[in-house]
Amino acid sequence: MSAAQPLLSAAVRQLSRSASGVVVKPARGFQVFRVDGYSWTKALPAGERISSENFTVGGRDWKIDYYPNGSGSCSGHISLHLRLDEYERQRVGAQYRFSLLGPSGAAAYELPAATGVFTCPGAGGGEYYTTADDEPEEELVVGCGYAEFIATDELEVRRETLLKDDCLAIRCDVAVVEVEALSLGRKFRQRAPKLNLNYSDDDEDSGDDQAASRRSRSRRQPDDREYIRQCLAEQRHRA
């Protein structure tokens, strides 16, 4: 059996070169979800949620899910969950923190920040939550949060600071890693010269062709080593 031909060192009629890169950086943001008329939300059955509008962090859409009488069997508490709300299926890791705001806008009650993995099932998919202390039982984790964020009795006791004017203000902070494409250099493809088989007696056209040929030769393309150095020296574009 003959040895394979050394393709990587073979002379070619056409050479293409390109470079690409990414910029990885943290992204964070928050949403304040205000619920006026808190007392009336207690009339909702356990497991019934009220969701915030979408908010964007790290190029992805999120929602806050608020359960006035707890999610599942956690009655006697309010449940708070952060949910990834994207149309296409994807898996995202994020840090999050929930807090309840007092009249001054500062956090009057909060739990420590937690880390979760969120999977959006896409259109028509199912969903379930995990809490900050639980390990997911399956891969599809749409939301993470706290099934027993605060007892409803404690909320009533602290009404002056947490439920001023029957208003519940929920803040959710989110931090993720964002990956952005980075353009490096420019694509270069060296093509084999074409033979001009169209003969013409037009001297002006012939002169234009010769000028174009001279311009093409004057633009010297960098060799491989120089091209790579140029790509690595490209300035990063940071937000």
**Confidence tier at 184 by pLDDT (50, 70, 90):** confident
Q: Is residue 92 part of a domain?
A: yes
Higher pLDDT, residue 182 or 152: 152
44 and 145 part of one domain: yes
State residue 120's pLDDT score: 77
Q: What is the pLDDT of residues 31-83, one digit of tens each?
A: 999 999 999 999 999 989 999 999 999 999 999 999 999 987 778 999 999 99
Q: b/e per residue, 75-89, with b = 16+ CB within 10 A?
A: eebbbbbbbbbbeee
Q: How far apart are the first and last CA of the chain?
A: 56
- Whether residues 153 and 190 fall in one domain: no
Residues 90 and 103 placed together within one structural domain of the fold: yes
Q: Does residue 1 sit within a domain?
A: no
Q: Residue length, the chain?
A: 239
For residues 153-175, average pLDDT: 96
Would you state the pLDDT for residue 19?
A: 81
Q: What is the CATH number of the domain that holds 91?
A: 2.60.210.10
**CA 2 from centre of chain:** 51
Tokens of 151: 């007892």
Task: Tell me whether residue 7 is in a domain.
Answer: no
pLDDT tens string 46-58: 989 999 999 999 9
How many domains are contained in the chain? 2
Q: Report yes or no on 216 lying in a domain.
A: yes
Instruction: State whether 64 and 165 are in the same domain.
Output: yes
Residue 144 lies in a domain: yes
Average pLDDT for the chain: 79
Same domain, 201 and 139: no
On the question of pLDDT at 22 being above 90, the answer is no
- Give the model's pLDDT for residue 239: 42
The C-alpha angle with vertex 47 and arms to 175 and 155, in degrees rounded to 5, equals 70
Proportion of the chain above pLDDT 70, given as a percent = 71
Residue bearing the bigger pLDDT, 212 or 90: 90
**At CA 120, angle to CA 33 and CA 57, rounded to 5?**
45
- Higher model confidence: residue 84 or residue 235? 84
112 and 191 share one domain: no
For residue 210, which phi and psi values (nearest 5 degrees)? -65, -40
- Same domain, yes or no, for 52 and 97? yes
What domain range includes position 194?
14-20+185-232
CA distance 157 to 159: 6
In the predicted structure, residue 199 carries a pLDDT above the cut 70: no
- Looking only at the bridges linking them, the beta strands covering 114-120 and 107-110 are unpaired
Place of tokens 């998919």: 125
